[in-house]
A and B are shown apart, each in its own frame.
Chain A
Amino acid sequence: MEGTDRTTLLLNLYRTMLRIRLVEERFVEPILSGEVKCPVHLYTGQEAVAAGVCAALEDGDYVFGSHRSHGHYLAKGGDLAKMVAEIYCKATGCARGRGGSMHVIAPSAGMMGAAPIVAGTISLAVGAAYAASVRGDGRVSVSFFGDGATGEGVLYESLNLAAVLKLPAIFVCENNLYSTHLPILECRPSEEVYKIAEPFGIAARRVDGNDALAVYEAASSAVSRCRAGQGPVFLEALTYRWRGHVGPDDNIQGAHTDIRSPEEIERWRKRDPIGRLRALLLRDGAAGEAELASLDERIAAEVEAAASAARAADFPATKELADHVFSRP
């Protein structure tokens, strides 16, 4: 990729990642103060995965998420203000205050939903790929899940199903090396997750999940394979969450349940996916300091406006408690 295309792509990736980062970090204070009450699994540190994968998708493609899906929602084009309002559990949220942080959804943007049952949406993503194959409409379906989800049997059933049916499904495992309080090697015999797909004949590889461009390139080729009818792809994105499993810091909020060493966290902070892309943009001459600074400011203002609007919005009315169970009451 050359010239303006590359510049546009890099700037897009940068914008997407920064929007995710600033939204996530904007939640820290209201979580600690108790204003935001629902469980929030911050995506800080992993932005390159959502941004890189979703940049390779079209609007009509599908994405399914997990408990940690703010980034997937934003990268797929979900409305930022509606997501922030949802995390405040307000009536103006993308799930009208019914779902909170763990159920961000924007079907019109292809963000088909998220759910905190570990591995719970993997088979759903396979089902959306099946729908695409039935219709022959060329869409692809992406399942985002964590390394912890490799413990659940449904992942393997889903891999098999997708492989047998040659579905346009992309399995994206965000390997951040921990499943809540357990390091990956206490959960599985190997750190290399992508190899689980090989016995199913699924094209599989590991990418640097803190390198947005590398993720984008891997996702693009996966999408091409899927659209060409060559069957599913498995991508393992090696990355790291900077903050607590839930909330900003498990050791402040919980009972010292973050077992990761400060040195390890610091090492990964140095591999900041946003800082890396910023450096690349500047090095390439794709953007100047001033341009990036003004972009930063615009995004910060957008996030601030969303937070203010969310705070000012109403909670859902009690009389609407029974709405949305069925299409008709």
Chain B
Amino acid sequence: MSSPGRRLGFGLAINEAFHQVMEEDPSVVLIGQGVKSPWYVGNTCNGLVARFGERRVYDTPVSENAVTGAAVGAALAGLRPVVVHPRMDFMLYAFDPIINEAANWRYMSGGAAHVPVVFWGIINRAGEQAAQHSQALHSVFAHVPGLKVVAPSTPRDAKGLMVAAIRDDDPVVFVDERWLYGGEEEVPTEVYGTPIGKAAIRREGTDVTLVAFSYLAPKALEAAAVLAKEGISAEVIDLRTLKPLDAATVVKSVSKTGRAVVCDVGWRTGGIGGEIAAQITEACWAGLKAAPVRVALPDLPAPASRSLEAAYYPGAAQVVAAAREVVARGRG
């Protein structure tokens, strides 16, 4: 009973995913700091405690390591927990249960056990919050075998990927970004999963492929509009999933355009953006008209001061500049 035209913001789209999946599956629980306070998680958890009770929707003490480990253990014992870290920086206390335990559990048990858990980490940055309240760690998680990593940029995908992540039988790191919470669009009312591992082509083009995700996906679309006015036709891919990476969609696009700009919302060195550029180079070498160019955060901790923040975070202008560069450099 989808009602066409119904629009939702990013936060309420996630909220709807919880309401629907928790209703259909009593093994789904949501734990973590702030699930009963909008201060931490905005409107993503509206109405959940009232509907499902404080046991299934548990606002925890400040104990990231234990709470995340408990989510992993509960998953082993038959629940499908979502554990929220309202700020990704706090997840660093939980690296052991995420990386040592959950990620490895299925493999090191030879498939005897598995861990259907969602580690939801919200990137919350800018506003002069400085180095410990700004970090984007998606690439670290994508580096680890045994973890899937999704990073939606739109309300529709936020809902669909949360549903898919919860239904997945393996650990999924769900990474979103406060900067995206202003977004609003038509979101189907029924419960649906957005396939994990499938990118979306947001705009078709012929001269250059802009590969992006999370907050840089809408920025890449803005950039494409600017580039169009200059006669550069940009194709925009929103990865949506970082691992497993939808290399096929990226390779197909770059094979067509011969040029790629890869946009990463994290630091440059060792980031997923470098991995994507490497895969493009390996797969598309013969057809590349120029080396791929990366847009990423500089290899620096996040500064506090607004003057430095403005220089630190790339936006549409940096994507435009990178696209111009890769087009100018082209060898064909």
Contacts and interface: CB of A to CB of B under 8 A. Distances in A.
Interface stretch (B71-79, B302-310, B318-326): B302-310
Contacts of B303: 97-98, 316, 321
A187 interface: yes
B285 interface: no
B304 A98 contact: yes
A153 B95 CA distance: 13
Given A39-B129, A117-B132, A152-B62, A316 B39 contact: no
B59 A186 contact: yes
Interface in A82-109: 89-91, 95, 97-100, 102-103
B5 interface: no
A188 B61 contact: yes
B37 interface: yes
Interface in A237-286: 245, 250, 254-255, 257
A181 B305 contact: no
Interface residues of A, number: 45
A134 interface: no
B301 interface: yes
A318 B308 contact: yes
A89 B62 contact: no
Given A149-B62, A153-B66, A254-B39, A98 B308 contact: yes
B65 to A, nearest CB: 6
A315 B307 contact: yes
A184 B129 CA distance: 26
Interface of A: 37-39, 89-91, 95, 97-100, 102-103, 115-120, 148-149, 151-154, 179-182, 186-188, 245, 250, 254-255, 257, 315-318, 320-322, 325
18 contacts: A38-B130, A89-B305, A89-B306, A98-B303, A102-B130, A103-B131, A115-B132, A116-B132, A116-B133, A117-B89, A117-B90, A152-B93, A153-B66, A180-B40, A318-B307, A321-B308, A321-B311, A325-B299
Interface of B: 33-34, 36-40, 59, 61-66, 89-90, 92-93, 127-133, 298-301, 303-308, 310-312
